[in-house]
Amino acid sequence: MKRFNLLYIKVFIAILVIAALCWFYLGSYLEIEKPVIKFNQEVTAVGRQKTIGIIFSDSKSGLSHLTAEIIQDNKGQVLADKKIPSKGQKQEILSLTINAAELKLHDGPAIIKITATDYSLFKNQTILSQSVKVDTIPPQINILKTVNYINQGGTGFIAYQSSKHIASTGVYVNDYFTPGNTILQNNIATSVTYFAVPIDATKTKTRITIFARDDAGNETRIAFPCTIKAKKFRADKMNLSESFLQQKMPEFQAMVPSLRGKTPLEVFIYINSQMRNENFLTIQNICKKSAPKALWEGTFLRMINAAPMALFADKRDYLFDRKVVGESLHTGVDLASTTQATIEAANSGIVVFTGTLGIYGNSVIIDHGLGLFSLYGHLSIINTSVGKNIAKGEKIGNSGTSGLAGGDHLHFSIIVGGQFVNPQEWWDPHWIKDNINN
């Protein structure tokens, strides 16, 4: 009797296992759920050459066959035909490059037809047809100001209009790209870009080009007509005293645990090199997003009754015990008046950063729109907050000695397109009128 019961239990378990396997196999084999097809971007137009990504997925039996074709004048041309040999593949991403000339496409309407089939018994199939416009004509750029003067280390500004809608635009200075923005000027779409001019820019070594890409992927690059004016920048040697190192370096050792146990000189070398570079990358990241319109108006304010202690692009060699232990390029203008002087916003905008920022100490960064920012460093007190709409002349803090500052002062910087530029231009109403407003 016991043997019979044991046999009965074994048979019952075997039946359950077989049933489970059948359910698992047939459940996916007999399923009727169709595959899913998605473009990884909006596809409305195809230019001279367009690359698009397509995401296929099937959560049940898996993908078996994928095809893509472009149809124009009732004639289809295969873009992709892929069979997946093994079952169970749930996702596939195809990258398709459509070359209008090779496919002999002409400007006008077309259809991209995408098909996905799964591994089920019923060969469930999804067909996605996307209407597109074939457009092989690149945008034409009309520069609104044909005579431009820009200064080494200064801000360049360009305004232009296009013959068609622009999906992406901006300015290349050699290989560095600064994105632009499109705004409505008298109900006409106008693209504007602020960009940084290198301090060593020259006519022969600096290529400045305007870039525009339309919805179809057609690109245009034209030279920016300008005259680059040379500027003289100062160079100086700064002796690091033992008292300065003893006074300031513990502040950074508390900030970076790995610096504890290092000599004051070793701490300074780290701060002046690695931390300085890290701070710059942080600032660039903060300044990636900017309001799509100008938030500022008129001349930028300069700190009241303040004497300049250091200028933009001053080259500094740091000496200790008569030996060069580091160098730097000053990224703004240092201004000093009285201890803990009131610091005001140079122009209206939105506060995008407040807090400690390495060598700059307690800092505030304000977005003035269209990629233009101002930075206020070495503050003793911060009297504003992130997200606040700030008015021109509104108090944001007090000057101080935080960060790598040897005395109470304000470090003021202007940033365009993620690069530091000479703030003195933005204090000059004539420069703003001639180069921006006109």
Residue ranges covered by each domain of the chain: 36-134, 141-229, 235-437
Helices within 256-376 (DSSP H only)? 264-270, 276-286
Residue 421 and residue 313: Cα distance in Å, rounded?
9
Residue 88 has a pLDDT of 81
User: What are 131's strand-pairing partners?
Assistant: 111
Same fold: 141-229 with 235-437:
no
The Cα angle at residue 290 between residues 161 and 378, in degrees rounded to 5: 135
Tokens for 252, please give them: 């950074």
The residue to which tokens 């600064």 are assigned = 178
Mean pLDDT of 248-252: 94
8 has pLDDT over 70: no
Looking at residue 409, what DSSP letter applies?
Answer: B
Looking at residue 400, what DSSP letter applies?
Answer: B
Instruction: Give, in words, the CATH class of 235-437.
Output: mainly beta
pLDDT tens per residue, range 360-395: 999 999 999 999 999 999 999 999 999 999 999 999
13 has pLDDT over 70: no
pLDDT tens per residue, range 103-129: 999 999 999 999 999 999 889 999 999
User: What are 117's strand-pairing partners?
Assistant: 65, 125
For residue 145, name the pLDDT band (cuts at 50, 70, 90).
confident
Q: Are 397 and 381 in contact (CB under 8 A)?
A: yes
Residue 142 and residue 213: Cα distance in Å, rounded?
14
From 3.40.50.970, 2.60.40.10, 3.30.70.270, 3.40.50.2000, which CATH number describes the 36-134 domain? 2.60.40.10
Mean pLDDT of 346-371: 98
pTM of the model: 0.86
From 2.60.40.10, 3.20.19.10, 3.50.90.10, 3.30.70.270, which CATH number describes the 141-229 domain? 2.60.40.10
What amino acid occupies position 143? Answer: I
Looking at residue 402, what DSSP letter applies?
Answer: T
Q: Is the dihedral of CA 7, 9, 13, 18 positive or negative?
A: positive
Q: Are 378 and 353 in contact (CB under 8 A)?
A: no
